[in-house]
Structure 1
Amino acid sequence: MSSDPAPTPHATPEQVEAAWHDRKLANVLYHDWEAGTYDEKWSISYDERCIDYAVGRFRTAAPWDGRPYLRALELGSGTGFFLLNLMQAGVADRGVVTDLSPGMVAAAQRNAEGLGLDVEGRVVDGEHIPFPDDSFDLVVGHAVLHHIPDVEAALREVLRVLEPGGRFVFAGEPTTVGDAYARKLGQWTWKATTTLTKLPPLQGWRRPQHELDESSRAAALESVVDIHTFDPAVLEGTARAAGAEGVAAATEEFSAAMLGWPVRTFEAAVPPGKLGWNWAMFAYHGWQRLSWLDEHLLTRVVPRSWFYNALLTGTKPR
């Protein structure tokens, strides 16, 4: 990583102002800023809970016969959540984590080193992947396509670096309908929590004001870094236009998203460690139960475009 740029965890006012007019710079600054606390913010771990979650998303999107892919690339890896947990589950032997944010790449490499995984890290623009043709047999990403200005160009690059027959799997992409209700739920939860914790009996549940202000600034910048929402059918068409075969988009989380977004917002609004293990288990098991409901019942009666998360897979023609 010696040739990669250094992280910018504390952007200057001039950089922030420029970011409002440059989506890629905004993504770099926002994710460098978030890199140190991202795992905590999103309850990311590298244990059985998140390993099962990552493999579940992979299997929802694509078939897998249990044999490991030999060399995998992750686009927009963040702190490494998706690929590192897939590697721990045996989905891939070796991996490369990439992100536009140097801070996120550094965090992902630290996580990989702590897990003893064979992982390389690179700062990469998803529209211009700096690897030769046919370099990987698997490309994955989680919550990354909606940050990339030209999704079709990125998918063409993905297909270029895949070997013939190689597969891509992207998960965690917001649908247009799902994003609308998730944002509303998050906004209502944030306003209710930050208002109620001003009351004297509840002030112990309030984060320091400067932390709340920082979170509000980050939330405002999300309007710049979150570029797209997706209709699943249109997303499939984009992948086919890029040259992919066997394209399929699945969706998940309807009732689960209506619990998940208020829970995550509430967690971000109260002091770290305040909620404890019992809360974490309530949130996780609640999400599991509602996900079961979504998968076994609601998918039969609710249009797929209404679910929050879109997952996309396809292969490079042989």
Structure 2
Amino acid sequence: MPASPTATPEHIKDVNTRYHDAAAEDYDAKWGIDFGGVGQRQVRLKLVKALGGIEGDQRFGDALEIGSGTGYFSLNLVQLGLIERLTATDISPGMLKRLAATAEALDLEDVTTVTTEAERLPFADESFDLVFGHAVLHHIPDLDRAFAEFRRVLRPGGMIAFAGEPSRYGERLATLPKRTGLLVAPAWRRLVGARTRAVAEADQSHDHSLEGEVDVHAFAPADLRRLLGEAGFEQPRVGGEELLANAWGWGLRTVESSAEPESIPFRWRRFAFSSYIALQKVDTSVLEPHLPAELFYNLLVSARKPA
């Protein structure tokens, strides 16, 4: 559920900082984030879709990530060699602390973290070849100002690319598998032999409870095209991804969140992952090339700063 329309930008930023700081420690486990071959393939596919393709030897020398979180998108791109020097930013110091620890564990060099908000980037003009992010634009209160900042810090000819942004239709569509998941969760737990998750008193008052307030926007493709155009970008691209896979994925997350994580059998996790990937392949090869972007749960957007 999006934040209240009467919420101030200051409140939205405070809520996002507190929630993501609280969520940072368990974030990768909660969302099944992978920094191996699986994660790298997923991230590369998203960037290819957003940009409309990547040439064989294409690399980005200096890249700025907005809303880096724990590094799912950026650290996988660094491992793939698509980014040479990464500046990872987030409003949450807790998330960046996890990202830095993961980068060190992966023995990645040229990774810098900076705590900042997207609307006021502390970087000189024309500092980066790529400004990018994953599932972040919907958290930013003032998108017009943010897009102006993205353009300012890009070098002429530089690219902007964002993936994982919720569409208005897709957000409504996701309510069905979530509700279905809640209904079938008790039967699912009995079937797989998982224990009901205990709800600690602290969980109800902790900053984890702010999850419902951190989202500000859901987009129509026209919204993103307008932002790109008014900020002075050219060659805009807006596409959609994940219809079947996302509906299935929300159902899986809902039932799994009702159980103690360590009690969920490995055979179930293997089935859940393989079935999600199978549906993702159907989306990519069959649905995404033919259906309008607004029908999908996630939107991808890219454009170029004029040379």
- 3-state SS of paired residue (1:139): strand
Shift of 1:205: 1.6
Rounded Cα–Cα distance in structure 2 between residues aligned with 1:52 and 1:198:
31
Contact 1:254 1:307 in 2 (8 A): yes
Which deviates the most, 287-296 or 119-128? 287-296
Rounded Cα–Cα distance in structure 2 between residues aligned with 1:202 and 1:45:
24
Contact 1:67 1:90 in 2 (8 A): no
Shift of 1:218: 6.6
Rounded Cα–Cα distance in structure 2 between residues aligned with 1:233 and 1:46:
33
Does 2:119 match 1:127? yes
Of 188, 192, 200, 1:210 maps to: 200
Of 130, 141, 151, 1:159 maps to: 151
Shift of 1:217: 7.1
Contact 2:162 2:302 in 1 (8 A): yes
Q: Which amino acid aligns with 1:257?
A: N
- 3-state SS of paired residue (2:70): coil
Shift of 1:185: 2.1
Shift of 1:296: 2.6
- 3-state SS of paired residue (2:257): helix
Segments ≥4 residues shifted beyond 6 Å: 18-21, 215-219
1:13-70 CA deviation, whole Å, 9 max, x = no partner? xxxxx99981110000110110000000000010000100000000011132233211
2:93 aligned residue = 102
- 3-state SS of paired residue (2:263): coil
1:257 aligned residue = 246
2:81 aligned residue = 90
Shift of 1:234: 2.1
Structure 1: runs of 5+ lacking an equivalent? 1-17
1:4 aligned residue = none
Q: Which amino acid aligns with 1:125?
A: E
1:27 aligned residue = 16
1:145 aligned residue = 137
Rounded Cα–Cα distance in structure 1 between residues aligned with 2:175 and 2:137:
18
Shift of 1:243: 1.2
Report the RMSD for the aligned CA atoms in angstroms. 2.6
- 3-state SS of paired residue (1:130): coil
1:130-155 CA deviation, whole Å, 9 max, x = no partner? 11111111111000000001112111
Q: CA 1:197–1:51 in 2, change beyond 3 Å: closer, same or farther?
A: closer
2:27 aligned residue = 38
2:301 aligned residue = 312
Contact 2:241 2:298 in 1 (8 A): yes
Taking structure 1 as the reference length, the TM-score comes to 0.86
Rounded Cα–Cα distance in structure 2 between residues aligned with 1:139 and 1:300:
26
Shift of 1:274: 2.5
Rounded Cα–Cα distance in structure 1 between residues aligned with 2:221 and 2:141:
18
Contact 2:192 2:265 in 1 (8 A): no
- 3-state SS of paired residue (1:248): strand
Q: Report percent identity of matched pairs.
A: 37
Shift of 1:277: 3.7
Does 2:160 match 1:171? no
- 3-state SS of paired residue (2:157): strand
Which deviates the most, 260-269 or 47-56? 260-269
Structure 2: runs of 5+ lacking an equivalent? 1-6
Contact 1:197 1:206 in 2 (8 A): no
Q: CA 1:21–1:186 in 2, change beyond 3 Å: closer, same or farther?
A: farther
Shift of 1:90: 1.1
- 3-state SS of paired residue (2:270): helix
